[in-house]
């Protein structure tokens, strides 16, 4: 017997196709769920805002381009295939001089602007 929710979640996802389906920057697209976590993709260019996620770590994996994560005690620069986990409570500011595509892994409902809120807050939508 197949659970319809399980069958719906158990699908192959092509990350490149999901990224090619939109152009908006800094808008996260949900591509999968893992228990209470969301796997999201986004396109970034320019600098975001300084923020922290008090209750959760945030994982960034660069798919294409280059991403710099500014931290108060130094920067972390990532290229394709590299990832970095920002520990919970650590203030950070993602930035990309040219467009970068990333994959994020974080608890469902985590706001992209963390503790800052404001006009750049976006809710992830299904890709």
pLDDT tens digit sequence for 105-114: 988 888 776 6
Q: Which residues contact 50 (CB under 8 A, 6 or more apart)?
A: 70, 91, 92, 93, 116
Cα–Cα distance for residue pair 56/35, rounded to 1 Å:
15
* 60 belongs to a structural domain: yes
101 belongs to a structural domain: yes
pLDDT over 90 at 47, yes or no: yes
Of 54, 46, 57, 25, nearest in space to 93 by CA: 46
- Residue 1's pLDDT is 47
The length of the chain in residues reads: 127
Q: Which domain holds residue 20?
A: 12-115
Helix, strand counts (H, E) of the chain = 2, 8
Report the number of distinct structural domains present in the chain. 1
Is 120 inside a domain boundary?
Answer: no
61 inside domain: yes
pTM score:
0.85
Task: For residue 9, give the 3-state DSSP assignment.
Answer: helix
Residue 1 lies in a domain: no
| 53-63 tens-digit pLDDT | 999 999 999 99
Mean local confidence (pLDDT), 101-124: 77
Find the CATH number of the domain harbouring 22: 2.60.120.10
Q: Which tens digits make up the pLDDT trace of 59-89?
A: 999 999 999 999 999 999 999 999 999 999 9
Q: Is residue 22, in this structure, part of any structural domain at all?
A: yes
pLDDT digits (tens, 9 = 90+) for 20-33: 999 999 989 999 99
In this structure, is residue 54 part of a structural domain?
Answer: yes
In a domain, 23, yes or no: yes
């Amino acid at each position: 017997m197949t659970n319809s929710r399980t069958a719906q979640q158990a699908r192959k996802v092509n990350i490149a196709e999901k990224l090619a389906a939109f152009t908006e920057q800094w808008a996260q697209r949900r591509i999968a769920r893992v228990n209470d976590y969301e796997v999201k993709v986004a396109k970034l260019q320019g600098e975001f805002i300084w923020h922290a996620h008090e209750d959760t770590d945030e994982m960034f994996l660069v798919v294409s381009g280059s991403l710099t994560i500014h931290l108060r005690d130094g920067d972390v620069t990532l290229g394709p295939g590299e990832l970095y986990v920002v520990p919970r409570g650590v203030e950070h500011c993602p930035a990309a001089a040219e467009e970068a595509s990333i994959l994020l892994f974080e608890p469902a409902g985590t706001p992209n602007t963390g503790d800052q809120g404001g006009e750049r807050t976006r809710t992830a939508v299904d890709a």
